[in-house]
Structure 1
Amino acid sequence: MCGLAGLLLPSPGRQEEQLAALAAAMGTAIAHRGPDDSGTWVDAPAGVALAHQRLSILDLSPLGHQPMASVDGRYVLAYNGEIYNFSQLRGQLEALGARFRGHSDTEVLLAAFSAWGVEESLRRCNGMFALALWDRSERCLWLARDRVGKKPLYYGWAGDTLVFGSELKALWRHPQFDNGIDRDALTLLLRLDYIPAPHCIHERTFKLMPGRLLRLDAAAVAAGASSHQPELAQRPFWDARERMRAALAAPFAGGDAEAEQRLDELLRDAVGLRMVADVPVGVFLSGGADSSIVTSMMQAQSTRPVHSFSIGFEGSHHDEAPLAREVAGYLHTDHTELYVNGADALAVVPQLPAMFDEPFADASQVPTALVARLARRGVTVALSGDGGDELFFGYSRYQRALRNWRMLSRVPLTLRRSLARLADGQGEASRSGGLAALLAEMGARGIGDVYRNRVARWRDPAAVVPGARAVESFYHLADPLEGAGTPADAMMLADFVTYLPDDLLCKVDRTSMAVSLEARAPLLDWRVAEFAWSLPLDMKLRAGVSKFLLKKVLLRYLPASMVHRGKRGFGAPVTAWLRGDLKSWAGDLLSPQRLAAEGVLDAAAVAQVWQRFGQGERKWHTHLWNVLMFQAWQDYWRQSRAAVRGDG
């Protein structure tokens, strides 16, 4: 895994040495993503510079150095990721006459661009990636991100210059990047705990969406951010909604046995592809179905014990370490387990703003950071079970939303709308449950509205951010599938395109890359996703058993006692923290005087929630954690900018 950064000027205006120094500084800011090697490439007459930080995984020799130029000299690439089917692509390219010096997937990717063009090459790739590709012939920059959104890519304007990179830290190093806080985007953080692409916490700054390709040239840069429309400019080479609709239109026609065999074959191949590396490979093992099936298939394809890692929490009622230990013992993996206490977890909290460098408030970021740190002691690559819940109906909130939607559907729409008006003006009261929560859902137009209430934190975030407009996300669609599929499919799609890349995969990317660890997710192989979408709901939820087919496959590897057990999740005791060791820290960040002086959040609205929490209303910890993560991030951002300007 690696990190990339760079810039493109609206017209040539800097000397090569200046561009190289600036690109190198941007790369150095994300050196943790790739500590093994670094490089820059500059074309001063074109006004472009690329920087790369390398974490060596395939071809550890200098032949894998980046930025790398294609053999024909047309393309120059800075690339973050892995193309898992690079050997297959290499064989196809060799048949066309291509010749290779090393055995890195970067070299294969460049040859593919020369042979097939950019968009067609990306369609042929099975992998995770974010890339910046300079086309010397067309004098344009291509930015691209993998289908699911495993790897991040930010871009924006610093003055009149386009800057881009794997993390915001890289963009911050440009001396003209003084982009303020996007208040509208902040409402997304308060609602969801994260800011989904293409939005970003900064004005004039964007995230590339999963499965998207963006072409930029000097004219587009000169036009500036005000004319840039990311939803239109970022064109899909793979669109999850369209692929799901196609899968639903051609559903799997076999029975349980055929589906089980097909899923087993797909998953084994996906796992096997992700075990290829020139460095040690391990697995995150929680003991749940998703990580257990990945671990089982790794061990089945390995000639020696697989390295597995789990974290345990002292005094916790949700400790998964014993489950992981049981699975590891049955599979005979080389298992490493670390028990941590509250102090160990809380020590991570001050590091979170620097780790994520965009405000992010999924509190499971803390245990994820701890298990990534543990794994890095023994391996450079770790596989995870991410994606199983979104593809195989694993969340209990799906069932609750379906129940609520069925009940609402029995009430005439006119009556529901009248009742919904009673909820107007209640603001955050609907978050506390009871009648207020029920009334808030009465006006639902479809399953999308009901499900949004399952995942939302602040229900009226614009009321907390003066001057902001509440931005809508994919969760605001009444029917995300636009008439195709079932309400269950619609909820899984919403999570797949929003929660999965912008929360779960962001969390894993930042926590793993903070310790220079590459994380791979076999369940998110696009072939597995499209097969899962073709399955009827009965193969995902049957007789109250969620992830039914996935667990049927797992029963081939583990006994039933290790497969059929309750989901515990991977969370953090935020309520206990905020009432205990973090109370003083939180009180300082939430001080009305401080909030009023900063002028971003409504001090009275935040103070009311902090007071209710102090009175014992447990549910408010979700509201408070995203405010706290934003406040802590503001401190970090100000310090970072002061360091770049040299006034701090």
Structure 2
Amino acid sequence: MCGLAGLLRPHADLDREHLLAIAASMGEAIRHRGPDDDGVWTDAAAGIALAHRRLSILDLSPLGHQPMASADERYVIAYNGEVYNFAELRDELLELGHAFRGHSDTEVLLAAIVQWGVRDAIARCNGMFAIALWDTREQALWLVRDRVGKKPLYYGWAGDTLVFGSELKALWRHPQFDNGVDRNALALLLRYDYVPSPYAIHVDTFKLMPGALLRLDAATVARGAAAHDPARDQQRYWHAGERMAAAIERPFEGDLDAAESRLDDLLRDAVGLRMVADVPVGVFLSGGTDSSVVTALMQALSPTPVQSFTIGFEGSHHDEAPLALQVARHLGTTHTELYVSGADALAVVPRLPAMFDEPFADASQVPTALVCKLARGLVTVALSGDGGDELFFGYKRYERALRNLKLLQRVPAPMRRWLARHSLQSVARGRGEASRAGGFAAFAAEMGARGIGDVYRNRIVRWRFPEAAVPGAVLPPTLYDQAEPLQGLGTPADAMMLADYSVYLPDDLLCKVDRASMAVGLEARAPLLDTHIAEFAWSLPLAYKRGDGGSKHLLKRVLKRYLPDAMVDRGKRGFGAPVSQWLRGDLRDWADALLDRQRLRDEGYFDADLVHGLWRAFLDGEKRWHTHLWNVLMFQAWHEHWRGQRDAAGEAIGLSSSGEGGL
């Protein structure tokens, strides 16, 4: 696991030393992602520079150093991630005449690209990765991201230069990166708690979509951000919606017993591949179904006790540590748990803007950061249970959305239209967020739904109408805005799981784990997100997932091969944080300062009266506004951090941001 950064200028007007200095600074900004080694490669005549930070996992020798050139010297790569099937690819390439100096997956990936070309080689890779690849023959840069979006990759324009990197921190280091806040992206943050791909918080800046690749050369860079359309220019080599549709049209034909055996085999393969490392490997264990099944398979495949890690919360009714301890004892893992107080958790909050260098408001980032720090004390790689909910019908909100869809379909069409108009009038009067408080307003807002996509979106959004809070914003579309995300194929449940798999999973859950783990130099791997498991899950009938025992029926059947029924059939407690309690208690002064009405007016991003009014209503006892306020606070804290970083960079090159200059 590593970090990458770089730049491509449309004109070869900088000497090698200048390019090296900029790229090295961009790489240094993300040294936490790769504390073991660093490297920079440039070609001044082409205006290209690649930087790399290495966290050594496979081939700890210098033979794994990056940026790395292919044997024929056509390609140079800076690569973040793991290709889990590299041994299989290596054997195939050896038969085709390739030779290898070391045993890193980077060298295998380069040989695969030489042999099959970029697109076909990537299609053969089973793994998590973000790649920057320079083709010296065609003078072209390829940016590539793994199928599900496990590893991040940002890119954008700093003046006339293309800049890219694993985190925005790297882009900030370029002396011309003075890109302000994109108000449309800010509105997305208020709606979802994160900024969905391909959007990013800065103007002229983007995320590469999961399963996408992007080819850029001097001519495309010279045309600038205004000519770039990520929906057109990012090419998908793998598309979750298309793959789910294909799986639905070719459904699994076996019975439930056959499906259980098949899933067990797939899980064993996926877990086994992700246990391969030249460093210690452990597992996050919460005691829930997903992490328990990963831990059980790890222990079944390991000749020695595996290291498992759990965070417990003092005085919390959401504490899962006792459940995790029961699972660990039954499986025989070497278990480490750490109980933290509210003060311990709150100490993480000031560090969040630096850890998540794009504003991010999923409050479970706090316990995630704590468990990653705990694990890093003993291992360098940790497996997680991410993906089980999105693939096996794991969220309670799925049931609620299906219930609401049935109710909606029972209301006569004329009544639905009247209620929908009433809801729109409420929005026009500035009371659109009242639908979050329940009652008639919530019922009326539901009536405008065109299909399961709209019904489900109403279950997951924070601000229903964030444009009202961000003057001048126009809300960009996401998959959640489609009435039928699966275009009518499959069931409404399939459509909801596709939307979460395509948006919520990469841009919230995987982003959270990536930043929290890489902040401490820990690699996190997610076996349930193996492509073979995903496509198998999509081929299953809903009854195999939503059985008599509730959600994740098939996954629980597999888990019962390793754990007693009583440890499997228990409710989900979640992995959250008591935000409302924090804002009324220890974080009140911090929040008061960030939500000060005059400060909000001076900064100009939010409707100060609306946001400050919600803060006062919350303090006066209205309970439902803490989630609305938390994502505003996360932006405010991030903006303060970003402004400080920008001022420091400006001083280094003789500039100042005292006039805000687009921010």
TM-score interval (norm. to shorter)? over 0.9
Q: State the alpha-carbon separation in 2 of the partners of residues 532 and 304 from structure 1.
A: 31
Query: 1:264: which partner in 2?
Result: 264
Structure 2 counterpart SS, 1:423 = helix
How far apart are residue 434 of structure 1 and its match?
1.3
Letter in 1 for 2:422: L
How far apart are residue 619 of structure 1 and its match?
1.3
How far apart are residue 470 of structure 1 and its match?
1.7
Query: 1:179: which partner in 2?
Result: 179
Query: 2:661: which partner in 1?
Result: none
RMSD of aligned C-alpha atoms? Answer: 0.7
Instruction: Describe how 1:192-341 pairs up with structure 2 within 5 A.
Output: 192-341=192-341
1:432 to 431, 437, 444: 437
Letter in 1 for 2:264: D
How far apart are residue 615 of structure 1 and its match?
1.8
* Residues 474-513 of structure 1: CA deviation (Å, up to 9, x unaligned): 1000000001111000000000000000000000000000
Query: 2:365: which partner in 1?
Result: 365
TM-score scaled by structure 2? 0.97
Structure 2 counterpart SS, 1:194 = coil
Q: State the alpha-carbon separation in 2 of the partners of residues 571 and 506 from structure 1.
A: 16
Q: State the alpha-carbon separation in 1 of the partners of residues 411 and 74 from structure 2.
A: 63
Report whether the alignment pairs 1:443 with 2:448: yes
2:534 to 517, 523, 529: 529
* Residues 542-595 of structure 1: CA deviation (Å, up to 9, x unaligned): 125110000000000000011010000000000000000000000000000100
Query: 1:52: which partner in 2?
Result: 52
Structure 2 counterpart SS, 1:352 = helix
Q: State the alpha-carbon separation in 2 of the partners of residues 285 and 509 from structure 1.
A: 17
Q: State the alpha-carbon separation in 1 of the partners of residues 190 and 576 from structure 2.
A: 19
Letter in 1 for 2:458: N
* Residues 99-125 of structure 1: CA deviation (Å, up to 9, x unaligned): 000000000000000000000011100
* Residues 202-236 of structure 1: CA deviation (Å, up to 9, x unaligned): 00000000000000000000000001000110010
Q: Which moved more, 1:60-69 or 1:599-608?
A: 599-608
Unaligned runs of at least 5 residues, structure 2: 657-663
Q: State the alpha-carbon separation in 2 of the partners of residues 540 and 417 from structure 1.
A: 35
Query: 1:630: which partner in 2?
Result: 635
Query: 1:645: which partner in 2?
Result: 650
1:583 to 583, 588, 594: 588
Letter in 2 for 1:298: M
Query: 1:490: which partner in 2?
Result: 495
Query: 1:93: which partner in 2?
Result: 93
How far apart are residue 94 of structure 1 and its match?
0.5
Q: State the alpha-carbon separation in 1 of the partners of residues 441 and 619 from structure 2.
A: 21
2:523 to 518, 526, 534: 518
Instruction: Describe how 1:437-476 pairs up with structure 2 within 5 A.
Output: 437-476=442-481
Structure 2 counterpart SS, 1:51 = strand
Structure 1 ranges of 4+ moved more than 2 A: 412-415
How far apart are residue 414 of structure 1 and its match?
3.4
Aligned residues with identical type, % of pairs: 71
Letter in 2 for 1:635: E
How far apart are residue 64 of structure 1 and its match?
0.0
2:514 to 509, 517, 540: 509
Unaligned runs of at least 5 residues, structure 1: none
Structure 2 counterpart SS, 1:575 = helix
Q: State the alpha-carbon separation in 1 of the partners of residues 263 and 29 from structure 2.
A: 41
How far apart are residue 73 of structure 1 and its match?
0.6
* Residues 120-159 of structure 1: CA deviation (Å, up to 9, x unaligned): 0111000000000000011000000000000000000000
How far apart are residue 535 of structure 1 and its match?
0.4
Q: State the alpha-carbon separation in 2 of the partners of residues 3 and 97 from structure 1.
A: 31
Structure 1 counterpart SS, 2:286 = coil
* Residues 339-385 of structure 1: CA deviation (Å, up to 9, x unaligned): 00000000000000000100000000000000000000000000000
Q: State the alpha-carbon separation in 2 of the partners of residues 397 and 266 from structure 1.
A: 27
Q: State the alpha-carbon separation in 2 of the partners of residues 439 and 543 from structure 1.
A: 32
Q: State the alpha-carbon separation in 2 of the partners of residues 88 and 549 from structure 1.
A: 29
Structure 2 counterpart SS, 1:80 = strand
Q: State the alpha-carbon separation in 1 of the partners of residues 157 and 148 from structure 2.
A: 25
Letter in 2 for 1:352: L
Structure 2 counterpart SS, 1:38 = strand
TM-score scaled by structure 1? 0.99
Query: 1:387: which partner in 2?
Result: 387
How far apart are residue 413 of structure 1 and its match?
2.8
Q: State the alpha-carbon separation in 1 of the partners of residues 170 and 489 from structure 2.
A: 41
Q: State the alpha-carbon separation in 2 of the partners of residues 473 and 186 from structure 1.
A: 14
How far apart are residue 603 of structure 1 and its match?
0.4
How far apart are residue 536 of structure 1 and its match?
0.4
How far apart are residue 473 of structure 1 and its match?
1.3
Instruction: Describe how 1:61-80 pairs up with structure 2 within 5 A.
Output: 61-80=61-80
Report whether the alignment pairs 1:481 with 2:486: yes
Aligned length: 648
